[in-house]
Amino acid sequence: MREAGRIMQDQGGGHIINIASLSAFTGRIGQAAYTASKRGLIALTTSAAREWGASTIQVNAVLPGFLDTGMTASLTPEQKRNLIGENVLNRPSTLEEVSDFIYSILSKMKYVSGQIFNLDSRIH
């Protein structure tokens, strides 16, 4: 982020999207390091937004929700069902939905910075 921010300052602005997780707010057994890193990323996002706002650099974070990816491949079917069951819509996000949302931030939301966008309908 630091290097990208320097380049964006020289270019007159830009947009950084960090990918965080709802785990930053809820925590999970056995995921202390993951939870701490995602919570730290959220703090970094909001601090960088404040620091770079005057340079027209937007910094936001997206919490994509449960996705069926390589990272979740080791979960048992029961664990996956339980995670999806915490979602009030009872379905996971898709990669397409997440990428469409990020594209919307980049292409349409020229006035938004320092925000944490939760794309999972789990309520924390």
Report the catalytic residues: 34
Count other Cβ atoms within 10 Å, centred on residue 95. 11
**pLDDT band per the 50, 70, 90 thresholds, residue 16:** very high
CATH H-level, domain 2-118: superfamily: NAD(P)-binding Rossmann-like Domain (3.40.50.720)
Taking residues 13-20, what's their average pLDDT?
A: 97
pLDDT in tens, 52-97: 999 999 999 999 988 878 878 888 889 888 888 888 888 888 899 9
The answer to whether the predicted template modeling score (pTM) of the entire model surpasses 0.95 is no
Average pLDDT, the chain: 91
Tokens 């939301």 belong to 109
Of 7-11, 26-30, 37-41, where does mean pLDDT reach its minimum?
26-30
